[in-house]
Structure 1
Amino acid sequence: MLLPAKAEVARHLERYRAWERLLLAAPADHVVRGNFENTGYTLCVLMGKRCAREAADAAEHYLRAASSMARARGSQGRGPSRTAGTCP
């Protein structure tokens, strides 16, 4: 399964959340609503979900999982170093 680039997911999720905040501040603004719906649609396509809220949740989960995997990989290489010719 192909997964989207983390940077793209983060960028689109940030845009979605920004338009969501603007929509909550001005619910009658048709331009804001249109931009919010467009960013939601893009996030749906990116995450393979039918609902923008589900897509945003999936994006957050994907980014959390990706960052925790990166931290785990980074901590694996920080143990005591061994030099050639020494026994464990």
Structure 2
Amino acid sequence: MLLLPDKALLAGLLQRYRTWERLVLAQPNNLARRRRLEDLAYTLCVLMGRRTAREAIIAAELHLGLSRSDGSAAEWAQDR
């Protein structure tokens, strides 16, 4: 049985991840920003029990009941 994280904690992590993702996209050569994004990605992976940041984000969105406009969460859930 997988223990899932608190939804408020998870929502905050997702929000921080997306903020840092935008910052990295704005300045892709900024190593400090990239490291922070990678740290957040790792934390999401550990909390959600997933191997990649993409899988962790989709799992987190499903856990929070969020829907993705591109439909990838639903497709991902069907593949599992």
Deviation, 1:61, is: 1.1
Distance 1:45 1:39 in 2: 10
Q: What is the TM-score normalised by the length of structure 2?
A: 0.76
Q: Secondary structure at the match of 1:4?
A: coil
CA-atom RMSD in angstroms: 1.1
Structure 1 match to 2:65: 64
Number of aligned pairs? 65
**1:3, distance to aligned residue in structure 2 (A):** 1.6
Q: How does 1:76-87 map to 2 (within 5 A)?
A: none
The letter of the residue matching 1:39 is L
What is residue 3 of structure 1 aligned with on the other side? Answer: 4
Counterpart for residue 74 of structure 2: none
Match of 2:55 in 1: 54
Partner secondary structure for residue 20 of structure 1: helix
TM-score, scaled relative to structure 1? 0.70
1:41 aligns with 2:42: yes
Question: Structure 1 counterpart of 2:62, which letter?
Answer: H
CA drift at 1:53 = 1.2
1:29-77 deviation per Cα after TM superposition (whole angstroms, max 9, x unaligned): 0000000000000000111101011111111111017xxxxxxxxxxxx
User: Gapped runs of 5+ residues in structure 2?
Assistant: 67-80
Identity %: 57
Residue 13 of structure 2 is matched in structure 1 by 12
Letter in 2 for 1:33: R
Deviation (angstroms), 1:14? 0.8
Larger Rg: 1
